[in-house]
Chains A and B, each alone.
Chain A
Amino acid sequence: MSASISGRAEYHFPAADCSRIPYGMYLDPEIYALEQQRIFRGPVWNFLALEAEIPEPGDFRVVGVGETNVIVNRDREGRIHAMVNRCAQRGAIVQRAIHGNARAHTCCYHQWSYDFTGRLINVPFQRGIGGKGGLPADFDKSGHGLQRLRVQTLSGVIFGSFSETVEPLEDFLSPVFADQVRRLFAKPVRVLGYQRQRIFGNWKLYTDNLRDPNHGGLLHMFQITFGIARLSGKGGARLDAEGKHNLSWAAQGGRAEAGGASDEGYSGTDRGDMAIKLRDPSMLRYIKEFPDDLTLAISSIFPGAALQQIGNCLAVRQIRTRSAGEFDIVSTFFGYQDDDAEMTRHRLRKANLAGPAGLVSMEDGEAVELVHRAIAGDADQHSIVEFGGRGTVTDQENLISDVPMRGFWLHYCKLMGIVPGAGT
């Protein structure tokens, strides 16, 4: 039996542990449309923004939940609200600026305006002129606000949900990931800036990438070439009970051990040299700032967010989908308000490692596009997800694993109504 989830699209997951992913799941516009409802608007908490981005009453930012434009703003009492950026009347974008400070959100089309909670507060010419024109007498503004999201925050990180039934944010995150949020946001933050990247591939190829520590030391060769870190170093993956989130972590002090047994896995590749040195290694320095020894910690929060610590380079990433074959990554880089000028400079230089031009991350854009181009036309074939073994999805104590990918897909299938491995 195949997974029939939208009437026409049928893709067979041959293995119950999601160790095979049908390519059609990355290609099909029907799957994509269904994801908007069942994943992004499903029982999840989507990362929206940081409170530090909207510190004052009236401050707003327009962000993305899947492909949906969402206004996040702060009301006069300091409370955070989020609502779909689409006018209740004719469906136009209401707030055209992507950030700013507003007294209200007014649609330019017919000047309907909404307060910071999304309530419709003004309709010009509602009663017409001289008893002629206007809306019917029984039109009730209270029934025509902007569609609201539920909002919960943790340590100044704002999450939103369309679901009335989703569990509380901290339960959704699980202790592991609630702790990761608290770890990165233990102090008031200062936003350093944004980076945006458009990748011409399916968004799940990127969430797969985030849950595949095994590629780190094989595709991203900056660290290997310059002798900074390698797969044989200390690291692993931590998951929540369902396996939907993933923390890829590494704890490496300076140059990883070179030569000997730890290099044997690189035989057959041209990627084990480690002999070349950087002329200015200063940006690689890690200034210890967390109680633990993690030097790399990427928390991928289901469905489309990631918290990033690459040394002292800190950011939050938000995936904004555009179609089955296109998505954006919007990253908000930050430091802390108590950083001195030297620490800020260090973080800004360290940002060379991350983002679309990142010395250890630029390859992800290429890898996603290589897969998306190559699988076109073969929706019924599938990828192999077996590093780290088959079956149960659990924490991994090494980096040679893509088990967390299967955790994502198992939860994804559950929300989409797919039973992987069912039947033949």
Chain B
Amino acid sequence: MSEASFIIETYGRLLDEDRLEDWLDLFAEGCRYEIVSRENRAQNLPLSLMLCDNKDMLRDRIHSLRHANVFNIHRDCHVIGLVRAEPGREGRISATAAYSLFQSNQDGETRLFSVGRYQFDFLPSDTGLLIESAIVIVDTGTIPTLLATPI
């Protein structure tokens, strides 16, 4: 398994296990995390569903989920497809993969919450690759109920 695939697997698993603070550690300090609909992408419209253009904004998002926001109690299950990774400039790696995200409630009822595609850019560091940019392009642009936990 390539290092990019390894990190992407970790990314999905940490979200599924609600280890959001550990998930944050996968990101570089100057990172960008963005969830954007296919609809806006296709029309060159810049609006996102979620936009963190530095790691502090991403930390704030997780902090808010933990301490402020009220959302549907659920567990996530990310099913991430095969990763295609390619070398970029200055030791960077670009990777893309399709995903399905299922949500299950406390009664064990499951629904398909979101499908789409990841576009990752990884940055080399002393401790290995860090996520410099994670763009989640959602085909499921009509968000069922609400979007709280990261995709």
Q: Tell me, yes or no, whether B148 is within 8 Å of chain A by CB.
A: yes
- Return B103 CB to nearest CB of chain A, in Å: 13
Complex partner residue of A283 from B39, B40, B46, B57, CB under 8 angstroms = B57
- Nearest B residue to A361 via CB reads B146
Q: Are A198 and B49 in contact (CB under 8 A)?
A: no
Q: Are A196 and B145 in contact (CB under 8 A)?
A: no
A interface majority secondary structure? mixed
Q: Are B40 and A194 in contact (CB under 8 A)?
A: yes
Docked Cα-Cα span, A279 to B143, in Å, equals: 28
- Residues A213-248 near B (CB distance < 8 A): 219, 221-222, 224-226
A2-10, A350-358, A406-414: which lies at the interface: A350-358
- Return B125 CB to nearest CB of chain A, in Å: 21
Q: Knowing A191-B45, A195-B47, say if A363 contacts B69 (CB, 8 Å).
A: yes
When distances are taken between beta carbons in the complex, the residues of chain B under 8 Å from A366 are 70-72, 145-146
Q: Are A221 and B70 in contact (CB under 8 A)?
A: yes
Complex partner residue of A357 from B70, B72, B143, CB under 8 angstroms = B143
Docked Cα-Cα span, A199 to B144, in Å, equals: 6
- Residues A347-402 near B (CB distance < 8 A): 348-349, 351-352, 355-357, 359, 362-367, 369
Q: Tell me, yes or no, whether A333 is within 8 Å of chain B by CB.
A: yes
Complex partner residue of A198 from B71, B142, B148, CB under 8 angstroms = B142
Contact digits for A40-76, partner B, Cβ 8 Å, 1 yes 0 no: 0000000000000000000000000000000000000
Contact digits for B14-51, partner A, Cβ 8 Å, 1 yes 0 no: 00000000000000000000010101100101111111
Q: Are B69 and A221 in contact (CB under 8 A)?
A: yes
Complex partner residue of B68 from A196, A226, A279, CB under 8 angstroms = A226
- Residues B88-121 near A (CB distance < 8 A): none
Docked Cα-Cα span, A406 to B32, in Å, equals: 44
- Return B71 CB to nearest CB of chain A, in Å: 6
Q: Are A362 and B69 in contact (CB under 8 A)?
A: yes
Q: Tell me, yes or no, whether B63 is within 8 Å of chain A by CB.
A: yes
- Chain A residues within 8 Å of chain B by Cβ, number: 40
Q: Knowing A357-B148, A362-B148, say if A225 contacts B68 (CB, 8 Å).
A: yes
Q: Are B47 and A192 in contact (CB under 8 A)?
A: yes
Q: Knowing A193-B40, A219-B70, A369-B72, say if A357 contacts B145 (CB, 8 Å).
A: no
- Nearest A residue to B142 via CB reads A196
Q: Are A192 and B46 in contact (CB under 8 A)?
A: yes
Q: Are B47 and A194 in contact (CB under 8 A)?
A: yes
Docked Cα-Cα span, A200 to B148, in Å, equals: 16
With a 10 A CB-CB cut-off, give which of B50, B60, B61 has the most chain A CB atoms: B60
Q: Tell me, yes or no, whether A278 is within 8 Å of chain B by CB.
A: yes
Q: Are B63 and A276 in contact (CB under 8 A)?
A: yes
- Nearest A residue to B54 via CB reads A280
Q: Tell me, yes or no, whether A328 is within 8 Å of chain B by CB.
A: yes
Contact digits for A329-360, partner B, Cβ 8 Å, 1 yes 0 no: 00001000000000010001101100111010
Q: Are B142 and A200 in contact (CB under 8 A)?
A: no
When distances are taken between beta carbons in the complex, the residues of chain A under 8 Å from B46 are 192-193, 344, 348
Q: Tell me, yes or no, whether B64 is within 8 Å of chain A by CB.
A: yes
Q: Tell me, yes or no, whether A197 is within 8 Å of chain B by CB.
A: yes
- Return B115 CB to nearest CB of chain A, in Å: 15
Docked Cα-Cα span, A221 to B71, in Å, equals: 12
When distances are taken between beta carbons in the complex, the residues of chain A under 8 Å from B57 are 279-280, 283, 349, 352
When distances are taken between beta carbons in the complex, the residues of chain A under 8 Å from B68 are 221-222, 224-226, 359
When distances are taken between beta carbons in the complex, the residues of chain B under 8 Å from A357 are 35, 49-50, 143, 146-148
- 16 A-B pairs besides A226-B64, A344-B46 with CB distance below 8 A are A192-B45, A192-B47, A193-B37, A193-B43, A194-B47, A198-B144, A276-B67, A349-B53, A352-B57, A355-B49, A356-B49, A357-B50, A357-B148, A359-B61, A359-B64, A359-B68
Binding site for B on A (CB under 8 A): 99, 191-200, 219, 221-222, 224-226, 276, 278-280, 283, 328, 333, 344, 348-349, 351-352, 355-357, 359, 362-367, 369
Q: Which 9 A-B pairs have the closest CB atoms?
A: A193-B47, A193-B45, A365-B146, A357-B147, A356-B143, A280-B56, A225-B68, A279-B56, A193-B40
